[in-house]
Homo-oligomer: A and B are copies of this chain.
Amino acid sequence: MISVAIVGTGNVGFHLNNELAKSDDLNVIQFNSRSQNSLTDFDIAILAVSDDAISEVSKNIESKLVVHTSGTTDINLLKNSHNKGVFYPLQSFSKQKEVDFSHVPLCIEAENKEDLELLETLGKSLKSKTYIVNSEQRKHLHLAAVFANNFSNHMFTLAEEICNKNNVPFEVLKPLIQETTKKIETLSPAKAQTGPAARGDQKTIENHLELLDTYQQELYLKITQSIKKYG
């Protein structure tokens, strides 16, 4: 029986606790991050707290292994005296929506093989796929996620903005958006790239620029250049 303390009651802590508690092989207890418990009796403490709080909260925890769940925080910012690790679920969570952990990749890091195996065991309980990712890689992965998620979503926002301004329902574009992301399940996005920038269709690019304000034109040109550069 593996004893697991989950510290933090935010989105990540909430869903991890919900899911890990289902396993017969784990004994899971959730704590508020402000509780003064040193958690000495636990094999692992998972700190699902805000990035800024990781160092401070970790100082007082005596579990054999302490891991944080942050995409941007170095493993060495953990200040506990025993083993350290990372258990980073790369997905967007909201409390209202149930999480299917089989669609949540887990990026794990630890200082030794035994701890990595323990993190992999937890991953298996969640039915998640685990990836060994060190702190340096994880920083870049988090940046890549901003492009893949936040920035792509903003492209949808700008598309919606254009639709709204011209009284066209945004839903007309939704099947195209779904097709775009379906394509890259099997094809590299660089290879899936289409459109005026990819085929060097300068006439269409100029027609588009005429429809945009100065601010949007700069963004359009910047991305068009980037497509020409990276394919």
Contacts and interface: CB of A to CB of B under 8 A. Distances in A.
A151 B144 contact: no
A167 B137 contact: yes
Of A156, A185, A207, A219, most buried by chain B (CB within 10 Å of CB) is: A156
Contact of A207 (B72, B104, B153): B72
Contacts of A162: 140-141, 143-144, 147
A224 to B, nearest CB: 9
Given A149-B176, A155-B155, 19 more contacts: A72-B207, A90-B173, A91-B175, A91-B176, A103-B175, A140-B211, A141-B163, A144-B160, A145-B159, A147-B162, A148-B156, A152-B180, A157-B188, A158-B230, A159-B189, A160-B189, A181-B181, A215-B229, A222-B222
A114 interface: no
Interface string A173-200: 1111111110111001110111111100
A112 B106 CA distance: 57
Given A103-B178, A178-B103, A150 B227 contact: yes
Interface residues of A, number: 82
Contacts of A146: 195-196, 208
6 contacts: A105-B172, A141-B168, A141-B172, A144-B159, A149-B177, A156-B189
Nearest to A156: B189
Contacts of A40: none
A171 B189 CA distance: 11
Contacts of A195: 146, 149-150
